[in-house]
Amino acid sequence: MERWWFPAMLVVALMLPAAAKGLARHYKFSVVMKNTTKLCASKPIVTVNGKFPGPTLYAREDDTVLVQVVNHVSYNVTIHWHGVRQLRTCWSDGPAYITQCPIRPGQSYVYNFTLTGQRGTLLWHAHITWLRSTLHGAIVILPKRGVPYPFPKPSKEKIIILGEWWKADTELVISQSVQSGLPPNISDAHTINGHPGPFPSCSSQGYTLHVESGKTYLLRIVNAAVNDELFFKIAGHNLTVVEVDASYTKPFSIDTIFIAPGQTTNVLLAAHQSGGTYLMAISPFMDTIVGVDNLTATGIMQYSGTHVSTATVRASIPAINATSVEFSFINSLQSLNSKRYPANVPLAIDHSLLFTMSVGVNPCSTCVNGSKLVAALNNVSFVMPSTDILEAHYHKIRGVYTDNFPGNPPMTFNYTGTPPSNMQTMNGTRVYKLAYNSTVQIVLQGTSIIAPENHPTHLHGFNFFAVGKGLGNYDPNKDPKNFNLVDPVERNTIGVPTGGWTAIRFRADNPGVWFLHCHLEVHTTWGLKMVFIVEDGDGPSESLLPPPSDLPKC
């Protein structure tokens, strides 16, 4: 036996560098009110450190990030690190009443998580009521030191954050809607890095992207809008997509990006023109009969040495219902699936789930019409508990949730055909339990209840693979034959086509309480959300850490 001792030591020594820790990055987020002037009107907004959009959080893969959030405003606050996997650190995920109680006025909380196996662009945002309309910013995770991008190194990197702006206080907009039962007022403008661009009856300055001819830029594009899916384009320039949701893709060139709230897209922009100014535009996408803010926000891409007075090269803006433009982008997405960045798609499935997504109407005696708009997954409108589900799960507190979320629709019907006349939903704080390391397929099935609509759906705690999609009703006999199980795109937020379905797969290898919801905030408010509880596995490395001592109390 003796002779094995030495080689074994050697193996341990060789493994050490790979397991080396990254740096600890400390951030302080002071949540404060700040007066802002936009659309020719000044109003106080909730910000982090007085900035809109908020500060960018920079780190490298393997770094531990510590963000002390101090609440100086009169609202309850929580922050979510959208797309960060939070391995064993569910306590730092952020959705209010799901993984933590809110940070109350005057209180603070330290979010503490390690960036494992992820690199790219993500976003952080408030995860309580509608505060994320102004409380958001980018997360940039650089590859480990010495590890190059799997694409040509850009000369410079730029962050482009897309937002949605209301002249009114957004907390008032949503509280009025909840009280009346009617849809919330639509926004008044879209923004690029906080700038709405030329706006009717108000001369506001658009965002300017300064470039030098001959250089290549990596644009880290974040959709932080509240309810609007957006197209993004720059006149005279194609964009090479290299990453979405902090997962590398096979590069492809396209003239218009489609990006839903919560999604991120990295593109290479070659400044191949000799000079001039080129229009940059974001415009909304809505291919159904739902009211939406239809205003385009514009900025310019300006070459150095170009006179500001130079006529800007314009671009054609996609029609608001340009489903074909949406599809040509989505259909081009594939995982890079290289040796270094493989697509580990689960092939055997333990839980095969079908979730219908619908909007409905429930009685409400105090509402304007005696009824209120609601939304549901499998006909269950999720009811927020008054204490967080994670603590209830961890401390085995009864009465906070039930574990009977249905894995299939309680009633089968022609989901995308004539909707049932009864548009009521059930309600409850229902969760679906998963054993550690089990594999899950969810078919997210759109329905035509009230109207078919595109729902960008976000899963916390995991990346998933989008293995298939289609129009109409999912067919469990035919459709899986066309699934891409080799190099499907890997993401954390995915659109479910209007009047269609999307199939996603993931491995439940992260213990905790994980939210799944539509990332159109209006639908989340109405109940289009549910929770997965992933049980601990064997031993500490497969178990949730204990709660931090400063975890806020309800």
Ligand X SMILES: *[C@@H]1O[C@H](CO)[C@@H](O)[C@H](O)[C@H]1NC(C)=O
Residues at the interface with Cu ion (CB under 5 A): 455, 518, 520, 523
Closest to ligand X by CB, 112 vs 337, is 112
Which residues contact ligand X (rule: CB under 6 A)?
Answer: 33, 35, 42, 44, 66, 76, 101-102, 104, 110, 112, 168, 172-173, 176, 182, 185, 236-238, 253, 255, 294, 319, 321, 323, 368-369, 379, 383, 410-411, 414, 417-418, 420, 422, 424-427, 437, 545, 554
Q: How far is the CB of 116 from ligand X (least distance, A)?
A: 11
Q: Are 96 and 76 in contact (CB under 8 A)?
A: yes
Query: 268 contacts which partner out of ligand X, Cu ion, none, CB within 5 to 8 A by kind?
Result: none
Largest CA distance in the chain: 85
Tell me which residue of 518, 512, 529, 171 sits closest to 385, measured CA to CA: 529
Q: How far is the CB of 147 from ligand X (least distance, A)?
A: 24
C-alpha pair distances (Å), 491 with each of 120, 161, 415, 462, 463: 12, 18, 26, 9, 5
Lookup: tokens for 399: 């009465």
Q: How far is the CB of 146 from ligand X (least distance, A)?
A: 25
Query: 520 contacts which partner out of ligand X, Cu ion, none, CB within 5 to 8 A by kind?
Result: Cu ion
Q: For the CA atoms of 386, 459, 422, 229, what is the dihedral angle to 10 degrees? A: 110
Q: How far is the CB of 512 from ligand X (least distance, A)?
A: 13
Cα 521 off chain centre by: 11
Closest to Cu ion by CB, 27 vs 501, is 501
Query: 112 contacts which partner out of ligand X, Cu ion, none, CB within 5 to 8 A by kind?
Result: ligand X
Q: Which residue is nearest to ligand X (CB)?
A: 417
Query: 70 contacts which partner out of ligand X, Cu ion, none, CB within 5 to 8 A by kind?
Result: none
The letter for the amino acid at 141 is: I
Q: Are 499 and 448 in contact (CB under 8 A)?
A: yes
Query: 185 contacts which partner out of ligand X, Cu ion, none, CB within 5 to 8 A by kind?
Result: ligand X
d(CA 405, CA 382): 10
d(CA 70, CA 66): 13
Q: How far is the CB of 47 from ligand X (least distance, A)?
A: 10
Q: How far is the CB of 3 from ligand X (least distance, A)?
A: 30
Closest to Cu ion by CB, 389 vs 496, is 496
The helix or strand, by DSSP H or E, that contains position 194, with its residue range, turns out to be: none
Closest to Cu ion by CB, 154 vs 360, is 360
Closest to ligand X by CB, 222 vs 232, is 232
Query: 179 contacts which partner out of ligand X, Cu ion, none, CB within 5 to 8 A by kind?
Result: none
At a CB cut-off of 8 Å and minimum separation 6, what does 251 contact?
A: 151, 240, 241, 242, 268
Q: How far is the CB of 256 from ligand X (least distance, A)?
A: 10
Lookup: tokens for 109: 């909380």
Q: Sign (positive/negative) of CA torsion 22, 17, 537, 377?
A: positive
C-alpha pair distances (Å), 541 with each of 63, 87, 396, 538: 18, 10, 21, 8
Q: How far is the CB of 519 from Cu ion (least distance, A)?
A: 7
Q: How far is the CB of 120 from ligand X (least distance, A)?
A: 22
Closest to Cu ion by CB, 71 vs 493, is 493
C-alpha pair distances (Å), 282 with each of 206, 221, 226, 392: 12, 11, 14, 42
Query: 523 contacts which partner out of Cu ion, ligand X, none, CB within 5 to 8 A by kind?
Result: Cu ion
Give me the half-sphere count of Cα atoms (radius 13 Å) on the Cβ side of residue 36. Answer: 23
Query: 155 contacts which partner out of Cu ion, ligand X, none, CB within 5 to 8 A by kind?
Result: none
Q: How far is the CB of 517 from Cu ion (least distance, A)?
A: 8
C-alpha pair distances (Å), 200 with each of 188, 203, 204, 285, 524: 10, 8, 9, 20, 31
Closest to ligand X by CB, 160 vs 359, is 359
Q: Are strands 455-459 and 493-496 parallel, antiparallel or unpaired?
A: antiparallel
Query: 239 contacts which partner out of Cu ion, ligand X, none, CB within 5 to 8 A by kind?
Result: none
Q: Would you give the DSSP letter of residue 492?
A: S
Show the CA angle centred on residue 268, arms to residues 267 and 274, nearest 5°: 135
Lookup: tokens for 165: 């702006």
Q: How far is the CB of 494 from Cu ion (least distance, A)?
A: 12
Q: How far is the CB of 2 from ligand X (least distance, A)?
A: 31
C-alpha pair distances (Å), 284 with each of 164, 291, 329, 356, 458: 10, 11, 15, 25, 19
Closest to Cu ion by CB, 162 vs 520, is 520
Closest to ligand X by CB, 114 vs 502, is 114
Closest to ligand X by CB, 108 vs 424, is 424
Query: 518 contacts which partner out of ligand X, Cu ion, none, CB within 5 to 8 A by kind?
Result: Cu ion
Closest to ligand X by CB, 298 vs 493, is 298
Q: Are 498 and 446 in contact (CB under 8 A)?
A: yes
Q: For the CA atoms of 361, 366, 367, 370, what is the dihedral angle to 10 degrees? A: 60
Query: 421 contacts which partner out of ligand X, Cu ion, none, CB within 5 to 8 A by kind?
Result: none
Query: 33 contacts which partner out of Cu ion, ligand X, none, CB within 5 to 8 A by kind?
Result: ligand X
Cis peptide before 511 (omega within 30 of 0): no
Closest to Cu ion by CB, 392 vs 520, is 520
